[in-house]
Amino acid sequence: MPEFGIVIHGGAGTITREKMTPELEKAYHAGLLESLVAGYNILNSGGSSLDAVYRAVYVMEENPLFNAGKGAVFTNSGIHEQDAAIMDGKTLKVGAVAGVRHIKNPINLARLVMEKTPHVLLARDGAEEFARLQGMEMMPDEYFDTEARRRQLLEVQAKERDLQTTPQASGLFGAEGKSGTVGAVALDKAGNLAAATSTGGMSNSRYGRIGDSPIIGAGTYANNRTCAISATGHGEYFIRAVSAYDLSAMMEYRGLSLQQAAEVAIHTKLAALGGTGGLIGIDPSGSITLQLNTPGMYRGYYLPDGKPFTAIYRDE
């Protein structure tokens, strides 16, 4: 039987010790640990990788420290627009939602799309109409507000004004901060892989921008033949590089290991485009990878041969 395990991330970007208080650092580690334990306990008891990644992401959506669910960033117009996706590596079934505004836990709706519809991706009003039909509780926009995210929006907008940035370029500064996405990948005792990703998007984004998280093959991918991947960072670059699927293809067609393919995906291909961020992955043997080309990425893993591990900075 293959080993089992779970890997998570909570966003990548300019995350440095100089910008972190001891109290906040402790809180992030606690949030990552809670997510890891929730997913690992499902795997350890014989549950599915799909249930494990779903639960791990759900826990981070409930934590206002992370840019997903309760802690979602603000768009330029002062609202919250969220994306999420989940994928089953055994069946290649997928569910994703984009641009939803009133869904308490977007990963929940993404899973319902996978299990209750013939579709892969639902967006905006249509996704929310489906949520109502499923009896999901709809939250007012204010539910997602946090002071930290409001300050982040004001800081990005001030920088934009100082540099007299054009509207077309606006929103890109959000990638310089904590590019928030949460994600999980897992392998269960039956040898099945799964991946899930959820995000509040990019601070100060305009025009209904959608990132890589709900785009299968860009920010989320799982296939029992190769790996399960969840990405975080400047989503436009992950979309252009089709990073998650490209990594899987390097394993399937070139025979690269998970670690080798992940290094090429992040440090060669994404970097060549000017993209910043990171990804997590796990393969059918239980090997894992956590790659980033940014100063930090909230991340962790829990494998059956050890204690849960969490980290924030690149040098950990």
Which of 16, 165, 181, 276 is the catalytic position?
181
Beta bridge partners of 300: 8, 310
Residue 54's nearest CA partner among 8, 100, 15, 103 is 8
Residue 237's nearest CA partner among 263, 273, 205, 262 is 273
Distance, in Å, from the CA atom of 257 to the CA atom of 261, rounded to the nearest integer, reads 6
Tell me the DSSP string of 123-145: EHHHHHHHHHHTTPPB--GGGG-
φ, ψ (nearest 5 deg) of residue 168: -65, -30
Helix (H) or strand (E) holding 82: strand 82-88
Helix (H) or strand (E) holding 246: helix 243-254
Q: Amino acid identity, residue 166?
A: T
Q: Give catalytic status of residue 181 as yes or no.
A: yes
Would you state the structure tokens that stand for residue 234, as one six-digit string? 């400047």
The catalytic residue positions are 181
